[in-house]
Structure 1
Amino acid sequence: MKYIDDINLFKSNKDFVAEIDMTGSLGRIYHYPQRMEGCLFLLCLRGECDITIHLSEHKIQKNDIVTILPETFVHVHRQSPDCRLYLIGFNKELLNGINLFNSTMNYLSALIDTPIIPLRPEITELFQDYFRLLIKMKRMGAKPNKELISTMLLTILHGVGSIHQNTNVTTRTFNRGEEIVKRLVQYIIKHYTKERSVAFYADLLHISPQHLSTTVNKITGKTVTDIIAKLVITDAEAKLKSTDLTIQEIAYSLNFPDISFFGKYFKRYTGMSPKQYRENG
């Protein structure tokens, strides 16, 4: 059985990747957090996969379709032995060419909030037929022009988007506390590399730090600092494992004043130093 050695080929000169994972490749590639460099679609035919997408843990099951957008952190915790997944990915350059925001503005927030949606079996078959076609094109070796590949990408995006718009996936209403947490996470994702102060995020939300802390703890059972740290540590882990940046460069990229402060912060949440994590984690 063919192994997918690296689906993080969005960094290379390939416009898209299309394969079926029958050997647990997704779990091997993303067994530590990594930042998604392109746009990845997964279609589960059977089995299960436990995955963290940004800060949220999910279980992928049969007939689920998954949309993982660029700059999203991905970490696969477990992939069952019988798991079968179609993997279709497009690189960031291609996404820039179609102007992702304008192309998906009607349902982009739904894709971010709900990256995994269950499909009816007959809809799964439609996506499966389309993904099979992409896999055949990829294996033929001929390189389609970018316009054709862009059309393929938009077809999948609009297909998933129409499911969001025509089902109750996007109709859930949030109470005030849940809305605060949702907006907090959005702000943290945007600012975590520069800001780790509870007061900063409370100010963005126009509420007091105490109100923010109490609300977050009530809704999530976590502190605001815990949520910020989760993303900071995830980013640090990804850079330690998947880049050649020095530990000092990683510390500065996350706005730590020096390598010592970064090391203490990292060890507090992981139990090991950045160097130990890079070598053995």
Structure 2
Amino acid sequence: MNKESWKNKIQIVTAFNSKTTMLSRNSMGIYFEFHSLNKIIVHFKPLNEVFRSNAFNDNDGILINFERDLIDEDDIEYALDVMSLFNSQPQLTLTTPTQLKQVQQGITILKEEFYNEEASYIMLKTILKLLLLLLIRFKNEGFLKQDLNQKRVFRFLELMETNFLKETHSEYYATEIGISVKRLNQILKAKLGLTAKQIIQQRQITEAKRQLVRAEITTKELAFQLGFDSISSFSRFLKKNVGVSPSQFKAP
């Protein structure tokens, strides 16, 4: 894949501030804030959200911003781990020599490939995946044990990822997990900051954008595939959440 094909899927920004333009609201962002030789604070921007205000300061750092495509093209388990990494906490502090060395090496290699005139999309994806897997490992090392509600969150995300096209109601997921819808939403709000319906809608938005860009099916087919009973209801949904109609989104 040549650079023109992937330049809108990943960006690296060294002069990052509150005015920096992201690839899209639906993209995911990691800002590595270098506090000192002995500390890096990693800030996360989940899908359809923004960085928290404490990410913007005078410290040196680097932003890695990428579209969800870069993780969706791999296996579901990896995608779920990445989603959990971005949604479980707004930031991660790295202080051990091993953590600092491995992350700094990963960033350096990613930058070198990104700015290489002959950069490879596969190489970029692979290096980014390595960096994300390192962060997932470091985050998991910070938990002494996984509590019951965290397991319920993972179970919900797993069910949602494989069933969101046919199951768009919170009741299905609550029943599968064995708790009430009210309790499910309480847990998800506490852990991820969103209700079950909001998370399902996020996934629908991502899938709608992906399918509209590919243009392999009609808008009507996509609407019914995503569980909408009409094109008009799908159009209203997209307009409300993305700001444009399906036809406007598809337009070059």
- Describe the shift of the 1:135–1:226 C-alpha distance in structure 2 as closer, same or farther (beyond 3 A): closer
Structure 1 or 2, whichever has the larger Rg, is: 1
Cα deviation code 1:235-264 (max 9, x no counterpart): 55x459x83757545423413232123245
Equivalent positions of 1:55-74 (< 5 A) are: 63-64=41-42, 73=47
Q: Pick the aligned partner of 1:114 from 69, 82, 85.
A: 85
The match for 2:22 is: 29
Maintained 8 Å contact 2:23/2:65: no
1:194: Cα distance to partner? 2.1
Report the number of matched residues. 231
Q: In 1, distance between residues paired with 2:6 and 2:243?
A: 36
Distance in 2 of aligned mates of 1:144 and 1:137: 7
Q: As a proportion of its length, which structure holds more strand?
A: 1
Q: Residue 128 of structure 1 is aligned with which of 104, 107, 117?
A: 104
Q: Give the secondary-structure state (helix, strand or coil) at the position aligned to 1:28.
A: coil
Is 1:204 the counterpart of 2:181? The answer is no
Change (3 A) 1:261 1:80: same
Question: TM-score scaled by structure 1?
Answer: 0.54
CA spacing shift, 1:248–1:255, aligned 2, 3 Å: same
Structure 1 stretches lacking a partner, 5+ long: 1-8, 47-60
* Gap regions ≥5 residues in structure 2: none
Q: CA deviation at 1:187?
A: 1.6
Q: What secondary structure does 2:32 align onto?
A: strand
| Distance across 2 between alignment mates of 1:261 and 1:145 | 37
Identity %: 16
Determine the C-alpha separation between the residues in 2 that align with 1:45 and 1:64.
9
What does residue 259 of structure 1 align with?
231
Q: TM-score, normalised by structure 2?
A: 0.59
Identify the residue that residue 62 of structure 2 maps to in structure 1.
85
The amino acid that maps onto 2:138 is: I
- Look up the equivalent residue of 2:147 and give its one-letter code: F
Q: Which residue of 1 aligns with 2:32?
A: 43
Give the Cα separation in 2 of the matches to 1:74 and 1:253. Answer: 22
Q: Which amino acid aligns with 1:32?
A: R
> Which whole-Å CA distance do the structure 2 matches of 1:91 and 1:223 have between them?
20
CA shift in 2, pair 1:243/1:93, >3 Å: closer
* 1:44 counterpart letter in structure 2: E
What do you get for the CA RMSD once the two structures are aligned?
5.2
User: Contact 2:110–2:128 (CA<8 Å) still a contact in 1?
Assistant: no
